Structure 1
Amino acid sequence: MRPPFRDGAFDAAVAVNMLHHLDDPSAALREARRVLAPGGLLVVSAIARDDSPELAHVWRRAPTPFDAEDAPGLVGAVFGAVEAERWDAPLITLPDRAAVRDYLVARRVPRAEAADLAARVGTPLRVTKRGALATARR
């Protein structure tokens, strides 16, 4: 995929929790580098494999091509120097089982299965979000 932008067209590029959807995130990173002007900033974020540990007894996120554990290395392979900042902190509280179900559905768990899993979780449930933010310059 080659976006219809000229080389060096942008001062910044951002990819927030989306590169994990791609089969080849390195191709997207190469395109980001191509469209960035010299000195341009890339900012990407990625979710960790062990995100939402409070749900680990009922659900575990499947590994992707761009997880927080690999993101700095993948960005560095294209951009060279990369700065990475990890996050690991309670972020949201799911007040009831319906909220747990909806949280799981948003993570691609089929609705019926999510409802069954949510029934096995105590609420309110405070959920820890884990991931990384990586920045690099062209």
Structure 2
Amino acid sequence: MVSNTPGPVKQGHDQGSHIAKSDNMQQSRELKPRPIGDKCNPLCPFFRCGQKALRFTTDHYRGRPIKVALCNWIGDRCIGASCRYAYCEKKAMLPDGRCSFAVENQPKKMKSFEEELNEENEIDLPQGYKGLPKKKI
């Protein structure tokens, strides 16, 4: 006879830990852009080829494996953002080949209000400029 009662609960195992582990795995699998500096990288998970010629292989450099993006269309390494068929799945590639995710994460250099005032005061007047014309009454 088969009983419908659950079997003995294993002690030492938390039933909720399985859910927490799966949440952590999903967060670690979340794709993130991988620009090199501020330039788009063909190894980024969002980088795509319009000709569908982008392939990934592993080369060995000094005994260590490195991932390399190859273009099957020309039979050589992918040139990245300078290729006319390259595009970003997240539409983050700027026309000059920079990644907008990298550009927006860079700290912005803001001048203080006092520095801007000093710069305005230091502006030289053009030659031959004597000042504002006086009104004649």
Q: Which structure dedicates a bigger proportion of its chain to strand?
A: 1
Q: Give the TM-score taking structure 1 as reference length.
A: 0.22
Find the structure with the greater CA-based Rg: 2
Q: Give the TM-score taking structure 2 as reference length.
A: 0.22
Q: Which of structures 1 and 2 has the larger relative contact order (alpha carbons within 8 angstroms, sep 6+)?
A: 1
Q: Which structure dedicates a bigger proportion of its chain to helix?
A: 1
